[in-house]
């Protein structure tokens, strides 16, 4: 059984560019969530996907979008990057929709926007 | 407006002693609480959880206490070990939401 894996682990972009982060969920998990962790903060919920459809969204603008695929992988896309988007982006998978259950996190993708 | 607060950014404890990490919350709708541990360059890993119908949950050296009237929970680690040195996040949820609300974390250092 493989865990949650994310790629890339580190990347640097410039303001205004677009970025795609990828996540491979733990086998058998049908729900994937993305979190943003800024320096010195706890993870903040971006959105959740369940069976390939968005199922909840945090306080993030539409330029943050995502996809979930049938093979359990998912993507986080961020358009028109801003300096404040610099953060660790965490993908988490789980067995069921909704919180109240354990989330399994990947190691994260650290994005730096210059 | 932080719904989950960890007011101590750091805590230093001697090996073998008790570590107590605290967490306060404001939303009375929260009915499930979790603690995650995070080492540098790794994602958070689940440690222990508690449902709002309980006031204590124990797993080995780790015990979580919930005081609903005070909207307060704490994580006790006994005895503390140097390998416990990490950032600990408190998180909360309610069943109507599909996400966890995290605190800012407390960095625990256990000194040999």
Give the residue on A whose Cα is nearest the Cα of B39. A107
**Inter-residue contact B108 to B8 (CB < 8 Å):** no
Contact between B95 and A108 using a beta-carbon 8 Å cutoff: no
End-to-end CA distance of chain A: 38
**What tens digit of pLDDT does each residue of A10-51 get?**
999 999 999 999 999 888 888 899 999 999 999 999 999 988
**Hey, of A38, A100, A102, which one would you mutate to test binding to chain B, going by the most B CBs within 10 A of its CB?**
A100
**What tens digit of pLDDT does each residue of A62-111 get?**
999 999 998 879 999 999 999 999 999 999 998 766 555 688 999 999 99
CB < 8 Å from A in window 13-32 of B: 31-32
Per-residue pLDDT 10s for chain B (112 aa) are 789 999 999 999 999 999 999 999 999 999 899 999 999 989 999 999 999 999 999 999 999 999 999 999 999 999 999 999 999 999 998 766 768 999 999 999 999 9
Inter-chain Cβ pairs, chain A and chain B, closer than 8 A: 67
- CA atoms of B60 and B106, how far apart (whole Å): 21
Strand partners, B93: B32
In degrees rounded to 5, what are phi and psi of residue A100?
90, -5
**Cβ-Cβ contacts under 8 Å for B12 (sequence gap 6 or more):** B108, B109, B110, B111
> What was the pLDDT predicted at A2?
61
Q: Is B1 on the interface with A (CB under 8 A)?
A: no
Closest-CA distance, B46 to chain A, in angstroms, reads: 7
In degrees rounded to 5, what are phi and psi of residue A62?
-60, -15
Cβ-based contacts of A44 with chain B (< 8 Å): 102
Give the residue on A whose Cα is nearest the Cα of B102. A42
**Inter-residue contact A60 to A77 (CB < 8 Å):** no
Extract the tokens encoding B31: 């009915």
């Amino acid at each position: 059984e493989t865990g949650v894996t994310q790629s890339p682990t580190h990347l640097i972009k410039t303001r205004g560019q677009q970025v795609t982060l990828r996540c491979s969920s733990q086998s058998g998990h049908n729900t994937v969530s993305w979190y943003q962790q800024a320096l010195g903060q706890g993870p903040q919920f971006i959105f959740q996907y369940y069976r390939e459809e968005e199922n909840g969204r945090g306080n993030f603008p539409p330029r943050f979008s995502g996809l979930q695929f049938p093979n359990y992988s998912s993507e986080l896309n961020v358009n028109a990057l801003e300096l404040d988007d610099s953060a660790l982006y965490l993908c988490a998978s789980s067995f069921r929709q909704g919180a109240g259950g354990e989330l399994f996190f990947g190691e994260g993708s650290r994005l730096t926007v210059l | 407006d932080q719904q989950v607060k960890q007011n101590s950014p750091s805590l230093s404890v001697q090996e073998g002693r008790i570590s107590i990490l605290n967490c306060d919350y404001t939303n009375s709708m929260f009915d499930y609480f979790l603690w995650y541990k995070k080492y540098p360059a790794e994602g958070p890993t689940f440690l222990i959880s508690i449902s709002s119908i309980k006031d204590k949950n124990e797993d080995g050296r780790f015990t979580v206490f919930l005081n609903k009237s005070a909207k307060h929970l704490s994580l006790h680690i006994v005895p503390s070990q140097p390998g416990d040195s990490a950032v600990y996040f408190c998180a909360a949820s309610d069943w109507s939401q599909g996400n966890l609300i995290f605190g800012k974390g407390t960095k625990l250092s256990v000194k040999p």
